[in-house]
């Protein structure tokens, strides 16, 4: 499968339109202010200032984290996607100026990392394990490719080609070259993007080198000198932290820092596809299975532990001490999409959709100016304040972070949604992976096909696709039948049809002509979802889903002590679309019950029988939680047996 | 109430006899080896070596923690109690030699702390917040008092009197004196013990000074200079950590480091009793209520969080990330006993008993050579290994610790059990607080009364008390009616009797004469205990108790995945005394059930109905867990509604 480039797609979706609009009008300007240290009461970014110092325009010391450069890179990438969908000369001028500044800091040999330019170039590439140079390079390459695709302007692209060329000289199998690879993966998938538009084989070779070298003995990270001993090295995790514990083809589980893991797997998938490396794909399938069947939250969030922002072990999915970093859910979308391009299996699309509608967009408030790093499935505000083990969990989104990876990552993912909706084999098939309103133009051989997709999702069931062809053409439209959908009805030109189902897709082959219309109704009842009994934290509990949306209980609707609530599986659920609630959501009501508190003031009692009273429960979409007053929240509630 | 000194009590109990015997024959010799760094594979203690260096007998650097001296002090105290119950000339010679060594390190002005003697006396008393000088002094005073009581030997006592006199000069309200108090409380209760045997008012005054000064503004700890910034100062806890956030009379909650809190409250209770300070007792009652009705585990363990080894907030009692330090449960026994001496309320005895039979002795294995610092109520060994947030929880007891406070603390508490069984008003009443087999001699006015208590507890229901008087004497025997006992039968001289119940005690007044016999049967059915519904972690779950013993499920009896088990409240429980199991325990069997695993390999499913199958469950006493192969354990199991 090859991607349908976002240049061919125009987004027109009620649900996602609001998010992309928020990114364009709120998040991108807000982040620009943050990058310039102009958001009051927020942790300073130092990002732009670092480039000014590196370029000799200002005196001063490097500020922020070693990976600070990547923030402006991700911002630029998001700007590019926004300009593509919605031209904006003023924004483009701001971006051009930022690019001028960035490029003016570049060294004669192509090197570009403000931390080392400011602190001493002699130390560059000496600590790949901790110092994020290749990570920053990767993000800047992604920005350069995106900006070139959006505007045709090559200034940043050419600069990053010079940097990539330097990397090709420094790293590689040669005797004079470094045999290292990044502590934080990212450059791999970036080099594959650079390869995609330049078709320069060296970039693909370097990406493959980084991937294949990782985890080989003797371990590169043990041969480097490091200023600090990382705590995780003394813990069970050790080199699992950055997935260098084993050569990647021998890895079978999703381990370590969750964002690093996703970026690595995404890069591996790119290399596997371009090189038709089935061994690499086989390794990825094993990891995928472990990840999605053992280590993923119902929201598509991943990373069970604050410690190392990392995976822990099979079926260990605590709801309250979870990490579930926004960036990790975003990384899961990257990974899932690339798996889909390797093989059209519905489950890849299912996971992508699960993360997008839940654990990704929960990272931002509805206004677009507050952010979660951690996305918990259960919150008691007092615990976040008074129990240090839950201190990383915040009951309200924050203005900005010292490590501000998540907000710009959200901006670029939401901005690039058009990249995720369609696929094609470029010959006789167009895939619809996500039901997101949009128009697309796809070339099948010599012919251009246009589809216009309109949908009521995620709040209602109907999707319509209008076909436009230059002339009647036989091809297949492959519609993903979501994993959550147990019943569907399909019409072609208002006539109900059966369709071939294969691995999660419905294949509609015919000679299509302009005016043909496909309609599909994806039944969307409220579903009581239980977790595998091996998940300790969810035993005796259930969550509610409707379509792709995971729901939650909030204190604002249901009062305190949500743990005392029991939902009932045997009642009717009322669905209620509320256009004015939380910028428009469908909420769910049911007759549940609540355990009555004790009258006596004691902690333990022997002769007590649990007494419940009826209580109307109100569920809202998980992504929209914490947009009202601070309070408790939970996704999994106890269920009356 | 005044205490019945342990010199008047002779222990003869089936259950506790085994523990005191283990302390005498295993723990005390084992600890002596540990203090001398002779236990292979265990963290070195450095303790004796530090004294040798401080005494100039050896060259070298101070080893171990700043409070290392306290380990030998607690060992000496345990030795004293052991010698009192069971003379042992060789052990006494070893202890005498240790005392010679300790005293030979004492400075001319009485100062005695090897850390500062070795590292520089100019720094002494400059960092009370962190450096544990007064804590070490307190433990050595306790050792000195105990050794004097046991052997009549004054060498260590005189040395510690000299040290206490120094402290009385250094600390106090005078202009030239330091207005400080210890970061880790302990000296307060120790000075009260010293006052008890010397009747020197200055020691009581200093104890009261430390207590009354604590938490006053300006805060002493903010005026000291400190080498390090403590992490907890940046967290919610701040000065709650060492209970100096408020003057003690204004404190209402059990906060901060749990061991420190207990030692403080115990010292406060001593001062309140000796000075008849009702304001202080009122403050203690408020704290007691918060502690026992909001922040105590069913096992008598306390301290919900690893972070700061501390309390968190009301009803926050996680079973798996709990700290529950052995020393904190021991401290709770100290506190409860002193509350009992202030006012004969049954609940004080209940808590003392709860901690003793469960959260205290769980700290040691049955052999007496492995120890828990942390006493969890739920363990999954894989989580202890792979989830850093549960890394402090160990699935097996350890040989020794760098900070080895718990093992010697256990030794001295178990050794001093005779101090906890009885009380008296010295006029007309003898209290029986704990049903532990023993003989006691109590003076009521001019008359000596002897009681001989025989009991089947904790495994069976019958207790018999034989009275011996010089001549027929009218007085009251007050028997604690345990909170767990809903039904009792009382006989005096084989004749069933009613008795006056008041605040948890049965008061039996009559003219007692030699040969009188009281018998009481405390009904001991298996009780399904639930936690207050506000305790999030125990909702929908229950524990089993029988008499004072809390039970648990272990993997060794019940297989893996204990979370999938549900107990049933509506079945018969089989009680089975097994003399050969775990050195003799009564275990409980019941017909429970287990949730069947899924056939499909997925994490979340919508159309699933929970299927259970019958499973015989075996419960063992909590204190005896982890004496077989490593495996899962849990106290609270889900209960079928």
A481 vs A41, residue with greater confidence: A481
A235: pLDDT confidence band, cut at 50, 70 and 90? confident
Percent of chain A with pLDDT over 90: 92
Interchain CB distance below 8 Å, B603 and A292: yes
**What percent of chain B has pLDDT above 70?**
99
CB–CB of B307 and A389 under 8 A? yes
Chain-centre distance for alpha carbon A117: 31
Q: What is the DSSP string of A176-204?
A: TSB----SS--HHHHHHHHHHHH--HHHH
Nearest to B604 among A298, A598, A607 (CB): A298
From chain A, pick out residues whose CB is under 8 angstroms from the CB of B535.
603
Residue B619 vs residue B227, higher pLDDT: B619
- Which residue out of A388, A541, A594 would a mutagenesis test of the B interface target, given it has the greatest number of B Cβ atoms within 10 Å? A388
Q: How many CB atoms lie within 10 A of CB A134?
A: 25
Please determine, for residue B467, whether its predicted confidence score (pLDDT) is greater than 70: yes
What does chain A come to in residues? 641
What's the rounded Cα separation, in Å, for the pair A340 and A355? 15
d(CA A442, CA A603): 66
- Measured CA to CA in angstroms, residue A100 lies from A24, A35, A111 at distances of 22, 16, 15
pLDDT surpasses 80 at A607: no
Q: Per the CB < 8 Å rule, is A388 touching B235?
A: yes
CB contact under 8 A, A387 and B307: yes
Q: Are B530 and B484 in contact (CB under 8 A)?
A: no
Helix (H) or strand (E) holding A150: helix A133-151
**Residues of B with CB below 8 A from A603's CB?**
292-294, 296, 298, 531-532, 535
Q: Which band of pLDDT confidence, cut at 50, 70 and 90, is reported for residue B608?
A: low
Q: Do domains B2-420 and B422-522 have the same CATH topology?
A: no
The residue of chain B with its CA nearest to that of A609 is B530
The residue to which tokens 């450059």 are assigned: A187
* Residue A145 to chain B, least CA–CA distance (Å): 37
SS (H, E, C) A532-568: CCCCHHHCCEEEEEECCEEEEEEHHHHCCCHHHEEEE
Q: Which residues of B touch A597 (CB under 8 A)?
A: 532-534
Q: How far is B448 from chain A (nearest CA, A)?
A: 40
Closest residue in A to B307 (Cα) is A388
**Sheet (strand B473-480) strand order:** B2-3, B422-424, B429-432, B473-480, B505-512, B500-502
pLDDT of residue B399: 82
Taking the C-alpha atoms of residue B380 and residue B395, their distance in angstroms, rounded to an integer, is 8
Task: Return phi, psi of residue A143, to 5°.
Answer: -65, -45
- Residues 6 or more apart whose CB falls under 8 angstroms from that of A103 comprise A155, A156, A159
Using DSSP's 3-state secondary structure scheme, residue B563 falls into helix
Q: Is the separation of the CB atoms in A236 and A252 below 8 Å?
A: no
Architecture label for domain A2-420 = Alpha/alpha barrel (1.50)
Q: Do B389 and A530 touch (CB under 8 A)?
A: no
**Spatial CB neighbours of B318, under 8 Å, sequence gap ≥ 6:** B304, B537
Is A539 close to B235, i.e. CB distance below 8 A? no
Cα separation, A640 vs B7, in Å, equals 58
At A297-355, the pLDDT tens digits run 999 999 999 999 999 999 999 999 999 999 999 999 999 999 999 999 999 999 999 99
Is residue A411 helix, strand or coil?
helix
Q: Report the alpha-carbon angle B348-B351-B352, nearest 5.
A: 85
Name the strand (E) or helix (H) holding B593.
strand B585-595
Closest Cβ opposite residue A531 in set B307, B545, B604: B604
CA of B601: which chain A residue's CA is closest? A293
At residue B450, does pLDDT exceed 80? Answer: yes
**What's the first-to-final CA gap in chain A, in angstroms?**
46
**3-state secondary structure at position B173:** coil
Report the candidate in B552, B532, B529, B626 with the shortest Cα–Cα distance to residue B317.
Answer: B532
- Distance between CA atoms of B109 and B162, rounded to whole angstroms? 8
Beta-carbon contacts of A47 under 8 Å, excluding residues fewer than 6 positions away, are A35, A64, A68, A69, A71, A72
* Chain B residues with CB-CB distance to A568 below 8 A: none
Three-point CA angle A450, A451, A452, nearest 5°? 125
pLDDT at B101: 98
3 state SS for A431-452: EECCCCCEEEEEEECCEEEEEE
- In B, minimum Cα distance to A639 occurs at B540
Whole-number average pLDDT of chain A:
96
- Active-site residue list of A: 309, 405
Q: What pLDDT was estimated at residue A344?
A: 96
Q: φ and ψ at B418, to 5 degrees?
A: -55, -20
State whether A312 and B529 contact (CB < 8 Å). Answer: no
Burial class from Cβ neighbours inside 10 Å (0-12, 13-18, 19+) for residue B579 reads: exposed
Q: Which residues of B touch A608 (CB under 8 A)?
A: 530
Cis preceding-peptide flag for B447 (omega within 30 of 0) = no
Nearest Cα residue in chain B from A381:
B313
Q: In what order do the strands lie in the sheet with A422-424?
A: A2-3, A422-424, A429-432, A473-480, A505-512, A500-502
Main-chain phi, psi angles of B209, to 5 degrees:
-60, -50
pLDDT at res. A608: 66
Contact assignment for A563 to B298 by CB distance below 8 Å: no
**pLDDT digit string (tens) for B306-319?**
999 999 999 999 99
- The answer to whether B640 contacts A638, with C-beta atoms less than 8 Å apart, is no
Tokens of B528: 């399904």
Query: Is A389 in contact with B389 (Cβ distance < 8 A)?
Result: yes
B86 is catalytic: no
Distance CA A200, CA A206 (A): 11
Q: What is the pLDDT of residue A151?
A: 97
* Cα–Cα nearest to A510, from A500, A521, A522: A500
> Is there a contact between B534 and A597 if contact means CB atoms under 8 Å apart?
yes
**Nearest-angstrom CA–CA distance, B207 and B188:** 5
Closest CA of chain B from A96, distance in Å? 42
**Bond from prior residue into A152 cis (ω within 30 degrees of 0):** no
pLDDT at B21: 95
**The pLDDT of residue A226:** 86
Q: Can you tell me the distance from the alpha carbon of A34 to that of B409, in angstroms, rounded to the nearest whole number?
A: 54
Instruction: With CA atoms as reference, report the closest residue to A264 among A240, A295, A237.
Output: A240
**Tens digit of pLDDT for each residue in A252-290?**
999 999 999 999 999 999 999 999 999 999 999 999 999
* Pairwise CB contact (< 8 Å): A638 & B539: yes
Q: Which of A383, A389, A533 sits opposite B595 (nearest CB)?
A: A533
Query: Which whole number is the average pLDDT over A576-602?
Result: 96
Task: With residue B551 as reference, give the H or E element that holds it.
Answer: strand B549-554
| Among B557, B579, B522, B529, CA closest to B358 | B529
Q: Where are the alpha helices (DSSP H) in A186-323?
A: 187-198, 201-213, 220-223, 258-275, 278-294
Indicate the pLDDT class of residue A591, thresholds 50, 70 and 90: very high
A478 bridge partner residues: A431, A507
Domain boundaries, chain A: 2-420, 422-522, 526-639
3-state secondary structure of A369: coil
Please report the DSSP string for B300-347 in residue order. S-B--BTGGGB--STT---SSS---BHHHHHHHHHHHHHHHHHS--HH
The pLDDT tens digits of the residues spanning B340-350 come to 999 999 999 99
Burial A283-321 (b: 16+ CB within 10 A, else e): bbebbbebbbbbbbbbbbbbbbbbbbbbbbbbbbbbbbb
The predicted pLDDT at position A406 comes to 83
Whole-model pTM: value is 0.95
Q: Which residue has the tokens 């990840």?
A: A291
Whether domain A422-522 has CATH 3.30.870.10: the reply is: no
Cα–Cα distance, A380 to A320 (Å, whole number): 8
Per-residue burial over A361-391, b if 16 or more Cβ lie within 10 Å, else e, is bbbbbbebbbbbbbbbbbbbbbbbbbbbbbe
Which of the residues B384, B405, B406, B552 is marked catalytic? Answer: B405
Q: How far is B204 from chain A (nearest CA, A)?
A: 35
Distance from CA of A641 to the nearest CA of B (A): 8
Q: Please answer yes or no on whether B605 and A382 come within 8 Å at the CB atom.
A: no
Helix crossing, B69-85 with B89-104: angle to 10°?
150
Smallest CA–CA separation between A320 and chain B, in Å?
11
Candidates B321, B382, B603; nearest CB to A531: B603
Span B513-549, pLDDT tens digits: 999 999 999 999 999 999 999 999 999 999 999 999 9
Closest residue to B540, CB basis, from A543, A561, A638:
A638
> Between chains, do B530 and A605 touch, taking CB under 8 Å as contact?
yes
| Nearest in space to B206 (alpha carbons), one of B218, B193, B221, B191 | B191
Interface mutation vs chain A, best among B540, B604, B615, most A CBs within 10 Å: B604
Q: List, in sequence order, every residue forming a beta bridge with A594; answer none if it has no partner.
A: A565, A613
* Mutation for testing the A interface, residue in B388, B504, B545, B593 having most A CBs under 10 Å: B388
Q: Is the confidence at residue A404, as pLDDT, over 80?
A: no
Query: What value does the mean pLDDT of chain B take?
Result: 95
Q: How many helices and strands (H and E) does chain A possess?
A: 18, 24
Mutate to test the interface with A, among B606, B634, B641 (most CBs of A within 10 A): B606
Residue of A nearest to B528 (CA): A606
């Amino acid at each position: 499968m090859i991607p349908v480039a976002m240049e061919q797609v125009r987004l027109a979706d009620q649900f996602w339109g609001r998010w992309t609009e928020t990114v364009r009008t709120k998040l991108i300007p807000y982040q620009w202010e943050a990058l310039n240290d102009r958001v009051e009461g927020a942790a300073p970014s130092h990002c732009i200032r670092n480039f000014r110092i590196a370029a000799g325009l200002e005196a001063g010391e490097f500020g922020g984290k070693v990976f600070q450069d990547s923030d402006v890179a991700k911002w630029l990438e998001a700007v590019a996607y926004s300009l593509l969908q919605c031209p904006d000369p003023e924004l483009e001028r701001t971006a051009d100026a930022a690019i001028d500044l960035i490029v003016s800091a570049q060294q004669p040999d192509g090197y570009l990392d403000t931390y080392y330019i400011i602190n001493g170039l002699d130390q560059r590439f000496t600590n790949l394990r901790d110092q994020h140079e290749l990570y920053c390079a990767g993000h800047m390459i992604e920005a350069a490719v995106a900006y070139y695709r959006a505007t045709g302007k090559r200034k940043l692209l050419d600069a990053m080609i010079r940097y990539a060329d330097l990397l090709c000289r420094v790293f590689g199998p040669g005797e004079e070259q470094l045999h290292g690879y990044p502590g934080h993966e990212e450059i791999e998938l970036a080099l594959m993007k650079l390869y995609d538009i330049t078709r320069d084989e060296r970039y693909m070779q370097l990406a493959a080198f980084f991937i294949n070298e990782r985890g080989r003995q003797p371990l590169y990270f043990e041969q480097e000198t490091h200023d600090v001993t990382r705590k995780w090295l003394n813990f069970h995790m050790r080199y699992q932290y950055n997935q260098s514990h084993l050569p990647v083809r021998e890895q079978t589980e999703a381990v370590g820092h969750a964002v690093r893991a996703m970026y690595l797997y995404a890069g591996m998938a790119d290399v596997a596809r371009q090189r038709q490396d089935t061994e690499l794909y086989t390794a990825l399938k094993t990891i995928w299975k472990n990840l999605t069947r053992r280590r993923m939250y119902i929201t598509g969030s991943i990373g069970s532990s604050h410690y190392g922002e990392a995976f822990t072990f099979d079926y260990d999915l605590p709801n309250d001490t979870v990490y579930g970093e926004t960036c990790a859910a975003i990384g899961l979308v990257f990974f899932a999409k690339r798996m889909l391009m390797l093989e059209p299996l519905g489950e890849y699309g299912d996971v992508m959709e699960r993360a997008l509608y839940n654990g990704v967009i929960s990272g931002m408030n509805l206004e677009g100016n507050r952010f979660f790093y951690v996305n918990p499935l259960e919150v008691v505000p007092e615990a976040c304040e008074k129990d240090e083990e839950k201190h990383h969990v915040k009951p309200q989104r924050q203005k900005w972070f010292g490590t501000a990876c998540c907000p710009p990552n959200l901006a670029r993912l939401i901005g690039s949604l058009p990249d995720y909706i369609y696929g094609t084999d470029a010959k006789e098939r167009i895939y619809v992976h996500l039901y997101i309103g949009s128009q697309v133009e796809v070339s099948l051989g010599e012919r251009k096909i246009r589809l216009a997709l309109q949908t009521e999702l995620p709040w209602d069931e109907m999707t319509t696709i209008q076909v436009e062809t230059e002339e009647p053409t036989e091809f297949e439209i492959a519609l993903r039948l979501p994993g959550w959908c147990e019943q569907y009805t399909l019409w072609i030109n208002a006539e109900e049809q059966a369709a071939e189902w294969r691995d999660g897709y419905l294949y509609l082959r015919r000679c299509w002509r302009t005016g043909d219309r496909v309609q599909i109704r994806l039944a969307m009842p409220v579903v009581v979802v239980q977790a595998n009994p091996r998940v300790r934290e969810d035993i005796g509990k259930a969550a509610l889903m409707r379509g792709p949306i995971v729901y939650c209980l909030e204190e604002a609707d249901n009062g305190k002590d949500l743990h005392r609530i029991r939902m009932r599986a045997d009642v009717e659920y009322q669905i209620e679309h509320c256009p004015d609630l939380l910028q428009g959501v469908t909420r769910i009501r049911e007759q549940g019950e609540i355990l009555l508190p004790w009258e006596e003031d004691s902690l333990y009692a022997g002769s007590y029988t649990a007494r419940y009273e009826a209580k109307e429960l109100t569920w809202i979409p998980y992504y929209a939680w914490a947009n009202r007053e601070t309070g408790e929240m939970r996704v999994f509630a106890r269920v009356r047996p």
